[in-house]
A and B are shown apart, each in its own frame.
Chain A
């Protein structure tokens, strides 16, 4: 009996190793390409490893010389935009979820159902008019064009509300007797208790905003205001000519989300599980 179980375990291990190779290969290949010189790629074609390791592509990317592919600036813009987006999402969704979860008011259930119904509404229908609205508000080429349209997403409210409903109502009652206002209850009691779900929502908001692609290409045109994800497309445009530079840019662009992932992977994974738990 025991032997049989080991056999399955070995099979599982082999399966995982094979897949892991597929998962890793593109990453190592990109790293290797980014460490080659452009000349080596042009003249000698494919090789697994650089004949000579050079950091020239990285140096070029970060040199102040290039005003046209200002990777550092894109990086900074992304950092600012995604952080702002995350903070706003957390404030707006948690206050809203708080009201739906802990307070009684007229039209609450109706409003919440409407919100939930919009989750299946395909964003493709909104795309063109939202652009027109943002343009009409003169927000094109400002970070608000990237931040505001996505902030009111219903799914975050849903996640947070579900979590808040699990917190005993007695806490509110006790606090009220002590003379606390709703805002104090929200800030001092509920928000700290909701930390796990807020971390999860915040991380998804951050990576979602960092990785946003179609929308930023529409609303951010100035090269020096662009974020890094659409910026990558400009880099890819130069791919045919400068693969090493393009790969170096690609690697630099993943660093923040990758680092965030390494530090917080258990939350990421919890977040996904949380999703299925509430839904399933």
Chain B
């Protein structure tokens, strides 16, 4: 009897233990993720000045009508522009962020003299903060004092004129982030079967054929994974245009996160317009989810 009760009690305790292990994370997760996520979705349907004490006022679909249908509204214009600019950046940067590190990985994988150094060097900028990166590059791009114009004897206004402003933003992005994909590809190339490569060589396959017929298929998973991850990451572009171009010229680099932040936290005063900002955020977020899912799906089918 006594033993049975004791065993029962023991069993009950063991059931609590796992929850205690996950409790800290779950509590923080609820407070700092779940609640704000729900609030963020709800806020998109309200008018809300977050700096005041007032609760959000429910306005139904008004915010979405404003940004999607009201062609007279400046929010319509700036949302569209912000959206277009964000997508432009994604399209401009993602190919470079996939292809360039792949080429670099191939080169390093050849184990040229100093390859360890190159690998470390190319990876290094990823540990820098965005504000330091921009601090460094802003000076590089300076029209009169910058290294680039002086080295090549140019008079290009890098951050103030198109298409140079996009060049500048993409160059900085590549320099800053490419290391992550690089090491993923390096690891992947390491795993490519040497037997296959040697067999191909015996068959007289050139470097190009080896690359396309053996290497690419072998690292397809990693390519796909980095493709999804890079795309989602680039949608969150914010710091580069904010500090490099300020959104100009002619709003052409004013990306969606900047539009959202300006509405919710107006930098020069005026009340916060967080309802509309949340609606924009929700649209952007939904699109990111859809793209991520589509990409995963696409990969899944290939597998």
The answer on direct contact between A and B (beta carbons under 8 Å) is yes
CB closest residue in chain A, given B27: A152
Which residues of chain A have a CB within 8 Å of any CB of chain B?
Answer: 8-13, 15-16, 19-20, 22-27, 29-30, 33, 41, 45-46, 48, 91-93, 95-96, 98-100, 103-106, 108, 111, 115, 118, 120-133, 148-152, 154, 157, 182-183, 186, 207, 210-214, 218, 228-230, 232-233, 235-236, 239, 243, 246-247, 249-250, 253-254, 257-258, 260-261, 265, 268-269, 272-273, 275-277, 279-280
Report whether B121 and A23 are in contact in the complex, using a CB–CB cutoff of 8 Å.
yes
Report whether A236 and B131 are in contact in the complex, using a CB–CB cutoff of 8 Å.
yes
Report whether A46 and B125 are in contact in the complex, using a CB–CB cutoff of 8 Å.
no
Q: Chain B: interface secondary structure? A: helix
Among A124, A154, A186, A229, point to the contact of B285 (Cβ < 8 A).
A124
Report whether A93 and B127 are in contact in the complex, using a CB–CB cutoff of 8 Å.
no
Report whether A12 and B107 are in contact in the complex, using a CB–CB cutoff of 8 Å.
yes
- Give the shortest distance, in Å, between A207 (CB) and chain B (any CB): 5
Q: Which residues of A are found within 8 Å of B214, using beta-carbon distances?
A: none
Given known contacts A9-B110, A16-B114, A124-B285, A269 and B28 CB-to-CB distance under 8 angstroms:
no
12 interchain pairs, CB-CB under 8 A: A13-B112, A16-B115, A120-B232, A127-B40, A211-B129, A214-B238, A229-B132, A236-B135, A257-B128, A261-B124, A272-B184, A273-B183
Query: Measured between alpha carbons, how far is A10 from B146 in the docked complex, in Å?
Result: 32
Given known contacts A25-B140, A213-B131, A125 and B35 CB-to-CB distance under 8 angstroms:
no
Q: Which residues of A are found within 8 Å of B200, using beta-carbon distances?
A: none
Which residues of chain B have a CB within 8 Å of any CB of chain A?
Answer: 14-15, 17-19, 21-22, 24-26, 28-29, 31-33, 35-37, 39-41, 43, 50, 103-104, 106-108, 110-115, 118-125, 127-132, 134-140, 144-147, 150, 175, 180, 183-184, 186-188, 207, 221-222, 224-226, 232, 235-236, 238-239, 243, 257, 260-261, 264-265, 274, 277-278, 281-282, 284-285, 288-289, 292-293
Given known contacts A232-B129, A273-B187, A111 and B139 CB-to-CB distance under 8 angstroms:
no
Q: Which residues of A are found within 8 Å of B147, using beta-carbon distances?
A: 25-26, 29, 46, 48
Query: Measured between alpha carbons, how far is A229 from B243 in the docked complex, in Å?
Result: 13
Report whether A254 and B132 are in contact in the complex, using a CB–CB cutoff of 8 Å.
yes
Name, among B32, B125, B138, the residue most crowded by chain A CB atoms within 10 Å (CB to CB).
Answer: B32
Given known contacts A41-B145, A125-B41, A250 and B135 CB-to-CB distance under 8 angstroms:
yes
Report whether B222 and A280 are in contact in the complex, using a CB–CB cutoff of 8 Å.
yes
Report whether A152 and B18 are in contact in the complex, using a CB–CB cutoff of 8 Å.
no
CB closest residue in chain B, given A157: B25
Report whether A98 and B118 are in contact in the complex, using a CB–CB cutoff of 8 Å.
no
- Give the shortest distance, in Å, between B54 (CB) and chain A (any CB): 12
Report whether A20 and B121 are in contact in the complex, using a CB–CB cutoff of 8 Å.
yes
Q: Which residues of A are found within 8 Å of B22, using beta-carbon distances?
A: 95-96, 99-100, 111
Q: Which residues of B are found within 8 Å of A230, using beta-carbon distances?
A: 131
Q: Which residues of B are found within 8 Å of A23, using beta-carbon distances?
A: 121-122, 124-125, 175
Given known contacts A151-B28, A243-B145, A182 and B129 CB-to-CB distance under 8 angstroms:
no
Query: Measured between alpha carbons, how far is A96 from B28 in the docked complex, in Å?
Result: 12
Among A33, A95, A108, A214, point to the contact of B239 (Cβ < 8 A).
A214
- Give the shortest distance, in Å, between B13 (CB) and chain A (any CB): 10
Q: Which residues of B are found within 8 Å of A214, using beta-carbon distances?
A: 238-239, 261
- Give the shortest distance, in Å, between A31 (CB) and chain B (any CB): 10
Q: Which residues of B are found within 8 Å of A236, using beta-carbon distances?
A: 131, 134-135, 138, 243
Q: Which residues of B are found within 8 Å of A120, using beta-carbon distances?
A: 232, 288-289, 292-293
For the A-B complex with A111-B22, A229-B129 known, give 11 more contacts whose Cβ atoms are closer than 8 Å: A23-B121, A23-B175, A96-B24, A127-B40, A130-B32, A182-B18, A236-B243, A247-B136, A258-B127, A258-B128, A261-B127
